[in-house]
Structure 1
């Protein structure tokens, strides 16, 4: 007995031939899907992959496979040439294929989490072994900050985040965090201070001082950085994860 009354639609009355044809059609469709991955590798890279893209990819694959299966059965005269026949086939494909797809997705997610955690652990070991506190310098270097009179030593700078029309700058002073709001843009700040190698733009709206990182947390999407006990963790976007590992010397 076959589910979804598939026994009534066997090709030549043979369930094995039917399964072979369905599997072959699905395989061809998956090869077409693989073509998109090869054509746009950057869009499908781990660094740029998101949950939203995964959901869209799942929907696309289910619809494309259902379309192929519906065409096969339509040519055979088994499924009616209307929306109800197509929706019936789509329901069958989703019911049969969603669970295996979910299993593969969970395996991939687990792999990405494990890889990210391993790299984060390596970074944390180095952070504990290295003393990133810069020694006192008789000639300190100051970051350039337009329309702000008070000089800011690069060794006290923690992060800068764009918030609307303002740039919020966090600096460490006597163990405390001081927050400054400046009317400038993150792009201007980055251009004026690009000679400081310790500055890193971890996502579109945030620049950090790598020497102020105290802990790295890894997950499937990327990394979260602890900069100071009194500040929330800073997220490294997936697109910047590879560059972050490279700058931290952990490619």
Structure 2
């Protein structure tokens, strides 16, 4: 079970993430009619259910946005897991219970606050917990399958392109100017043949440059921003596949996928390089035009 909760999972917060709790809230008030709500007419129930549901929806949007600002690292999409998804669902569920209980207490002041919250909690958990678990497992399976198919397809394109590049004669290989990688002050820290530059990783105000020298991979830390270096590299060979990574397409040997994202395996590198969801659609076109 612990291994399952540690699995990568896509961070999905869209209209359905708000709509489903809103529908559940409306269902509890209008259909189940907790406490004295069954004594009121249909019109009152519909108005009350709509008001509480809208309030719940706004609370969910506000709380998730707040969590993203307060805990940006914990909420980062490239580090999202099944466990975090489950905890976020529980957080939303508890928020739903609190907002619904407080609103119901205002609308129905005759009810006992403790009893109302207890019953609201029991009803909400009973209705929601199994759909939540089923939803997480379904999303895990669906995205895992989808990413595996995409990775397999892209790997085929990659192998075909690698075969094409290896078949080139020496006079067909373009002579590329050396890559100059400067520091923040403009001083040249590295002068490399483009084929020797494997990938670059952002590390705050610094970049980690991974390059080969005599078939050995080396790393150099340089004070500069990744976006400044990206402007110096030819886009036909180098791809900004993630906010924190630039890779040399000629060093990609395999494309893998999990439920959260695609990953690139590079020749001679043990670390896999993530591909952000925004950049994933660009991979196929990049491989086709790679030189």
Q: Which moved more, 1:164-173 or 1:215-224?
A: 164-173
Label 1:161 to 1:67 Cα distance change in 2 as closer, same or farther (>3 A).
closer
Q: Deviations over 1:199-250 (max 9, x none)?
A: 112222221112211011101110111112343111223343334455346x
Q: 5 Å matches for 1:61-140? A: 61=93, 63-64=95-96, 67-68=99-100, 79-80=111-112, 82-83=113-114, 85-131=116-162, 132=165, 136=170, 137=173, 139-140=175-176
How far is the alpha carbon of 1:33 from its aligned partner? 4.3
Q: CA deviation at 1:79?
A: 4.2
* Higher percent of residues as helix: 2
Which position in structure 2 is the counterpart of 1:204? 243
CA contact (8 A) 1:212 1:227 kept: yes
User: Which structure 1 residue ranges, 5 or more long, are not aligned?
Assistant: 1-5, 14-20, 38-42
Q: Is the 8 A contact 2:252 2:264 kept in 1?
A: yes
TM-score by length of 1: 0.68
Structure 1: distance between partners of 2:87 and 2:214: 48
Give unpaired runs (5+ residues) of structure 2.
1-31, 40-44, 62-67, 69-75
Cα RMSD (Å): 4.2
Which residue of structure 1 lines up, in the alignment, with residue 192 of structure 2? 152
Are the aligned partners of 1:70 and 1:89 in contact in 2 as well (CA < 8 Å)?
Answer: no
Q: How many residues align?
A: 227
Measured against aligned partners, the alpha-carbon deviations of 1:144-170 in whole angstroms (never above 9, x if no partner) come to 311336531112211011235542211
**1:148 touches 1:182 (CA, 8 Å); kept in 2?**
no
- Judged with a 3 Å threshold, the aligned counterparts in structure 2 of structure 1 residues 54 and 114 are, in CA distance, closer, same or farther, namely same
Q: What TM-score, normalized to structure 2?
A: 0.60
Whole-angstrom CA distance in 2 between matches of 1:165 and 1:71: 47
Write the distance in 2 (CA, Å) between the matches of 1:186 and 1:135. Answer: 34
Q: 1:106 to 1:135 in 2, by over 3 A?
A: farther
Would you say the 8 A contact 1:218–1:224 is kept in 2?
yes
Q: Which residue of 92, 96, 100 maps to 1:60? A: 92
